[in-house]
Structure 1
Amino acid sequence: MEQFLTFLQEGFFHILDLQGYDHILFSFAICAIYANKDWKQILWIITSFTIAHSITLALSVFNIITINGNLVEFLIALTIFFTCIENLFIPQLHSYRVLLSGFFGLVHGMGFSRLLKELFMGMQFNAFTTLLPFNIGLEFGQIIIISFILLVIYCLIKLAYLKPKTITYIISVPVLFQSAIWMWHRFPWQHQILSSSFSLFLT
């Protein structure tokens, strides 16, 4: 039971950790086009994301699939970037957000597994005493994040009298720029490209 609670706590506090806030910004990007009245759509989106990241989290933890960690971090930033682009410029894709969030969940699940392995290096993982509570902790944290985001959007609409489209821009534009910065810094071959370019310059 102690191990269950430990992993539950780790999952919960990881997703709420402001030092690694990429998932929080992803949640903001996902919710930017919605309001409280759209809670059913948001529920489907969260469910799709949860199922998908649970699959790749399990597969990665048990080494059934292995993907370069730097590439995963880059792809996580790319999912945030694409979601913002969709919010701002591709409204035709909004109706497919449940499918897209599922696809993006596959990527984020690999990121979660990387953290789990780093935190408990060398430990034998068990589906019920380690993986399950960690995943449950993630979901509890995600519910808090989504609830907070919807509260912010509600206040912006009801108290600041902002239009939903304006809110979409207020959220999506800064998140877009931050995700672009992450993509640049996390680009897997960036250092190789810079080294090659510098060598060519010297010669």
Structure 2
Amino acid sequence: MQNAKQFLVLGLKHIFTGYDHILFVINLLFGAKTIRHILSLVTAFTIAHSITLALATFDIVQLPSSFVESAIALSIIYVALINIFNKDSKHQPWLAFGFAGILSEMRLDTSHMAASLVSFNVGIEIGQILIVSVAFPLILWIKKLTLTPIKWVIPGTSVVILAFGLIWFIQRAFKLDLLIP
């Protein structure tokens, strides 16, 4: 039970200190139209994260971390570009598929691996729900405002997210330290 609690907390820390995860989820929310659409995006993200994490944890698929981290940055860039150039886009759940490998680095006892994996993913899901429950109402409120300067908030924020994605891609693909976590 203690092990499960530790991995739940680790999942929460992973999502709240994973700024790329947070920006990716917010990026996806910019294109969300309904609560059902949000649920499909968040569920796809969780399923993808769970599958890739399980594949890495059980040593079924091991990809170089620089490739995985670069692909995550590219997905952030791609969604930001959609937000900038197509303000009426409705993001598809397949955009939420990503990669993970943190548990495979922890050398877990195989008898506890499944429970640890589930607990870690529950922590990530709780974190995502908290992010969505704060960010989406704010995004909806911004979208409903009619002031002209407000219409630039989402595209402007997407430009900032795009910049972070580009920096992360350069940093991860070319192993450069650009002072951004």
Q: Post-superposition shift, 1:148?
A: 1.5
Match of 1:182 among 168, 175, 178: 168
Query: Is the contact made by 2:4 and 2:115 (CA closer than 8 Å) also made in structure 1?
Result: yes
Taking structure 1 as the reference length, what is the TM-score of the superposition?
Answer: 0.76
Deviations 1:103-144 (A, max 9, x none): xx2x33x2xx2x2234x3x32243542110001011000111
Residue type at the aligned position of 1:175:
I
Summarize the Cα distance change of 1:117–1:158 in structure 2 as closer, same or farther, 3 Å threshold.
Answer: same
Runs of 5+ unmatched residues, structure 1: 192-203
Matches within 5 A, 1:18-97: 20-34=18-32, 38-90=34-86, 94-95=89-90, 97=92
Rg (Cα) greater in structure:
1
Residue in 2 that maps onto 1:123:
108
Whether 1:137 aligns to 2:123 is yes
**Higher helix share goes to which structure?**
1
Query: Is the contact made by 1:16 and 1:24 (CA closer than 8 Å) also made in structure 2?
Result: yes
Residue type at the aligned position of 1:33:
G
Residue in 2 that maps onto 1:168:
154
Taking structure 2 as the reference length, what is the TM-score of the superposition?
Answer: 0.84
Q: Post-superposition shift, 1:170?
A: 2.6
Percent of aligned positions that are identical: 34
